[in-house]
Structure 1
Amino acid sequence: MNPIQEVNSPYIVEVTLDNVRDLIQQSMERPVVFDFWADWCAPCKALLPVLSKLAVEYNGGFILAKVDTEDQALAQIVMQFGIRSLPTVYVLHNGQPVDGFSGAQPESEIRKLLNKYCQPVQETEAELSAKEQAEQLIEAGQLEQAKMLLNDALGESPEDYELFLMQANVCAQLGDAESAKAIINGLPHDHKNSAKAKEVLARLSFSEIIKDAPDLATLEAAVEEDGSHSQARFWLAGRLVMAGNYEEAMKQLLTLMRQDRGYGDDTARKTLVKLFDMLGNENPLVGTYRRKLYQALY
């Protein structure tokens, strides 16, 4: 944890090369405030608590994205934004920088800027349960944030076994099969043998597919850009399975099989059949896509 990170919130994100594209995409739905800072910068340390407080108060009205300019891996991002002094703040909206400022600013001025693009979410509208918040984060691909939120929720509700199953599912999606198995094995007998627990464990068999894969948003962009990229499409199917989006995973595997039957020694077909076996014949998707598979083969 960096020295000036004090607030944990699903709406405060550390920028990395892996999530920057996703953050820009999120700005199509709500503003993303990029804060460029450095640990040696005293005004940065004054500004960040104000921005963090507002991110919590606005409760999803905007995302605060913190960029550590001393991280050499982020040098290209710093250069692309044309950062010349610290702190510098840019507001991205609809994928484009639309506003910003340099230097520490009073809270009242920052509120005026934010209110051009968003408003605080009223508590009556924003009282989502930990499960609902985690589900939203998982759907958005913010798995680390979902994991932190679930850890906090379990500290308050240590006997909420649905939260444990969600936590195991997040670990599985992050490729941490060992932790996912340990969580499920630690559950009481009835919960350990529930359909949801069995589904998470079965899904772990797909974790090897995505072991070296980029994140979901990156893969979706790669496939959209080049529909013949077999490896990206196969990884995308694996990511979709881990995220529980089985129908879209089946579509991707079926497309891959039709386009490149020889890929990985007929891996697309074999993986599709493996997915059928995981879900079971009672799942309506299995019947539908077995027919589609048969039609594609014959």
Structure 2
Amino acid sequence: MATAGLTVEEQKSVEAFQQAVVAPSMDKLVILDFWAEWCGPCKALTPVLEKVAAQYADRGVILAKLNVDEDKFIAAQFQVQSIPTVYAIFQGKPVADLTSARTESQLSAMLDQLLEKLPVGGDAAPQQDVAPLLAMGEGILAEGDSERAAGIFGQIAEMDPDNALAVGGLIRAMIAAGHLDQAETALGSLPEEMRSDPAIERAQTTLQLAKDKPDSAALAELEAAVAADGKNHQARFDLASALIANGDHDGAAEHLLSIIAADKDWNDGAARQKLLSLFEMVGLEDEWVSATRRKLSAVLFG
């Protein structure tokens, strides 16, 4: 399995989680119990979980336990803040929070509802887009640890090669780590039907913008040109492109908005298109994109 970017302990945690929870959840409903030795309520709940899991075993329900003291890495990805915390996992994804069920009758009622809706033990195709691991990869990438993010996305992509979110995340992590040639090769090797997926298009946009990265001398020349002539839209546009490649989204957006405010149709609307590409690269649901989009609207229509 791909493990680049993860520590040895994190690698062990992810692999153990895949074996104990993800793999069996492909056709079974896994009750995932987060607990610790020092937790009194956990010890009281354990016999309830074990008894009900045994009663529902013939319906495809199994129990998995995760000690939060011994496996802090996975617990952190599920954002476990108190214990006991209990989730129902199906096909790699949390489908219900069972924490409130503290009695046999309560837990049985919740399992009955889930089993009525989910094709547990059926012929449904597994969906190995492990939501917690995808969220973990995006979070680590946003924090700037691109090598670790690449390792996480790579693991998911190896489990499910058709998972565009994982593949796109892996390519964006490669780009963030400066491996542009590797990212371009990965994009070029994708099947045609995957390339139109929004996650892959986002990775493609990220690569295109990253190619604009200049050396420090060229960046200084662009800054000097803009300082000397604020109406030099081409220099400002080139500077914005360079700042995007350097990761300075605020600075790039400021220059692009300045061009749009002065002449929104300059160069067939190139500044606006570049800003929209930046939005796509960052992620359309990102708070920064929402705030900057409001600034764009104010410039265009205010």
Normalising by the residue count of structure 2, what TM-score does the alignment of the two structures yield?
Answer: 0.39
Larger Rg: 2
Normalising by the residue count of structure 1, what TM-score does the alignment of the two structures yield?
Answer: 0.39
Bigger proportion of residues as helix? 2
